[in-house]
Amino acid sequence: MSYNFDLFIIGAGPGGIAAAKQAASYGKRVAIAEQEVIGGTCVNRGCIPKKLIVYAADVALQDKIAPNYGWSECQRQFDWSKFIAKVYQHVKSIQKSYLETLHKKDVELIRGRVKFVDPHTVEIGDCALLSTGGDRKITADKILIAVGGHPNKPDIPGIEHAVTSREMFQIQQLPKRIAIVGGGYIGVEFASMMNAFGVEVTLMDTDELILDGFDKDIRSSVQDGLIQRGIRFLGKTTAKEIKQSAQGLQITLSGDTEQTITTDTILVATGRVPNTKDLGLENAGVELGKKGAIQVDDYNRTTQDNIFAVGDCISRVPLTPVARTEGEAVAKTAFGQPQKVDYEYVTSAVFARPEAATVGMTEDKAREKYGDAVRCYKTEFEPLLYSIVDRNEPTMMKLVVDSNTDQVLGAHMVGEHAADIIQSLAVAVRKGITKEDFDATIGIHPTTGEEFLTLD
Ligand SMILES: Cc1cc2nc3c(=O)[nH]c(=O)nc-3n(C[C@H](O)[C@H](O)[C@H](O)COP(=O)(O)OP(=O)(O)OC[C@H]3O[C@@H](n4cnc5c(N)ncnc54)[C@H](O)[C@@H]3O)c2cc1C
Ligand SMILES: NC(=O)c1ccc[n+]([C@@H]2O[C@H](COP(=O)([O-])OP(=O)(O)OC[C@H]3O[C@@H](n4cnc5c(N)ncnc54)[C@H](O)[C@@H]3O)[C@@H](O)[C@H]2O)c1
């Protein structure tokens, strides 16, 4: 049977684009469909605009410490609308370079919403095919689902008054006050950015500590850091009801803090849900697993043999580099050597101030596996940058080690440049570096990173 394409990809986010490039490198006929804009969540309403906002917020923080470094005080004004226009100018340039890459590699980009007709056929709604145009059915030997996810909105009265991270990137001006429901990656990063811009921030989570899943020392260290900067954190608390009033939005809380607070913006950041609705998965024999995620095996194959799924829609590790790695692995499995993704040493960071980053096992996970053989090495210190600043800004570093083998199982850090430092350590940790190797390495002085080499 002949098909229109060897591989048809649904979703042009990091997962889909990585798969398209890899499959095209085998000389395969590849098409990728996108219902919105090329680049997906990461480029358009995630990592990239977020990190640029972090940089803008850092300028405000630098201003605060500047007098300690001999700079006279000055009154700089921040213009959100001017800044965000620059951000989207950059986002457009990334979209353009993606389009050029796909074009160069002969990957056909199809604009429109895709739905399965059967395991080898999809239907494109609102199709504006770059070459021909018009609605059409397309057949493919193999199909990759890389449709990502969307924010989960808790089912509470008045939730329509709340925004999600998606709308936060579209706000016209900064609010004076913001209440953030959910202290995960998104809640914590936005809390930090908004606080730096001078917004009054209340952050809440159903747990007593923010950043579920991270090492407990990271969780408490970042939480203390946020509180110290003036963010009001309410643990074991959630939103029960939201109402519009003349004074602003009223959010009624339940849990450890039972009160009603008035705010201008409410951001809900309580996790994300896979985009599997109305995809016609039932027509293709693709089944869902836990929490609506697409069920896949170790090779990212769905319950239908010729159909694969990667990225946020499978809810394994919803991060851009993971989606990319999975996308490439699928193309290799489908057209080259079968390849599994190794999730053991996925590095990740929370771009808050203080910044947090991690690779490998948390202390709790290590203890589950290695019991009393786990030894932790930890330090907390004031970095040189803050030594002449009238503010306490501790850095925390921690190594989790299996004392039987001396192997470093995990490295965790909170503080300046944590993401870049942990990123570099990740290679060594993945390769099974020992604590002795850390100790035997001569550091660069004076840096924050060198402290990882002298832990005892
Ligand atoms: C605010 C925020 C900040 C983040 N920051 C980071 C970060 O700093 N670092 C990091 O690693 N990760 C970060 N992430 C997570 C990261 O964005 C995702 O893990 C990543 O984008 C997942 O890639 P994906 O390809 O699976 O899906 P997406 O990037 O979501 O792409 C899926 C694409 O599929 C399209 N699509 C969906 N359904 C259809 C359909 N039926 N037909 C056609 N097209 C369809 C969508 O329009 C979308 O463009 C962040 C996420 C958010 C929300
Ligand atoms: N720096 C990064 O890499 C980065 C940044 C942003 C997002 N992301 C990705 O996006 C995903 C989604 O982020 P997220 O922050 O929405 O989810 P998350 O899963 O990271 O955190 C959700 C938080 O909300 C809390 N929560 C859940 N329901 C609640 C409720 N009703 N009331 C109060 N708190 C509640 C949870 O306890 C948890 O702490 C992340 O898992 C991550 O993979 C990554």
pLDDT digits (tens, 9 = 90+) for 337-357: 999 999 999 999 999 999 999
For residue 27, the model assigns a pLDDT of 97
Q: By percentage, how much of the chain surpasses pLDDT 90?
A: 95
pLDDT digits (tens, 9 = 90+) for 138-149: 999 999 999 999
Any ligand 2 atom below 6 A from CB of 182? yes
Report the run of H or E that residue 40 belongs to, with start and end.
helix 40-45
Q: How far apart are CA 355 and CA 361, in angstroms?
A: 18
Strand partners, 181: 204, 268
Structure token pair of residue 63: 């201003």
pLDDT at 132 over 50: no
Number of residues written out for the chain:
456
For residue 126, the model assigns a pLDDT of 67
Any ligand 1 atom below 6 A from CB of 14? yes
Phi, psi of 69 (to 5 degrees): -100, 20
Any ligand 2 atom below 6 A from CB of 238? yes
- From 113, 320, 324, 348, the mutation candidate for ligand 1 (largest count of ligand atoms within 8 A of CB) is 320
For residue 392, the model assigns a pLDDT of 80
| Protein residue closest via CA to atom 48 of ligand 1 | 40
Q: How far apart are CA 232 and CA 200, in angstroms?
A: 8
Q: What is the mean pLDDT of the chain?
A: 96
| Protein residue closest via CA to atom 20 of ligand 2 | 184
- From 21, 32, 43, 47, the mutation candidate for ligand 1 (largest count of ligand atoms within 8 A of CB) is 47
pLDDT at 130 over 50: no
Q: How far apart are CA 44 and CA 315, in angstroms?
A: 20
Any ligand 2 atom below 6 A from CB of 406? no
Residue 356: strand, helix, or coil: strand
Q: Which atom of ligand 2 is least distant from the CA of 186? A: 15
pLDDT digits (tens, 9 = 90+) for 80-95: 999 999 999 999 999 9
pLDDT at 313 over 50: yes
Q: How far apart are CA 417 and CA 168, in angstroms?
A: 25
Chain position carrying tokens 């002969």: 106
For residue 88, the model assigns a pLDDT of 97
pLDDT digits (tens, 9 = 90+) for 251-299: 999 999 999 999 999 999 999 999 999 999 999 999 999 889 999 999 9
Query: Mean pLDDT across the stretch 433-445?
Result: 98
Helix axes 80-104, 14-24, angle to 10 degrees: 20
Percent composition of the chain: helix, strand, coil (DSSP 3-state, to 5): 35, 25, 35
Residue 456: strand, helix, or coil: coil
Any ligand 2 atom below 6 A from CB of 231? no
Tell me how far the alpha carbon of residue 380 lies from the centroid of ligand 1, in angstroms.
35
Strand partners, 255: 237
For residue 238, the model assigns a pLDDT of 98
List residues with catalytic annotation.
445
Residue 445: strand, helix, or coil: coil
Chain position carrying tokens 């500047």: 66
For residue 74, the model assigns a pLDDT of 82
Q: How far apart are CA 355 and CA 349, in angstroms?
A: 7
Tell me how far the alpha carbon of residue 216 lies from the centroid of ligand 2, in angstroms.
16
- From 8, 38, 42, 324, the mutation candidate for ligand 1 (largest count of ligand atoms within 8 A of CB) is 42
Any ligand 1 atom below 6 A from CB of 186? yes
Any ligand 2 atom below 6 A from CB of 204? yes
Query: Mean pLDDT across the stretch 412-421?
Result: 98
Task: Answer whether the bond into residue 446 is a cis peptide, omega within 30°.
Answer: yes
Tell me how far the alpha carbon of residue 210 lies from the centroid of ligand 2, in angstroms.
9
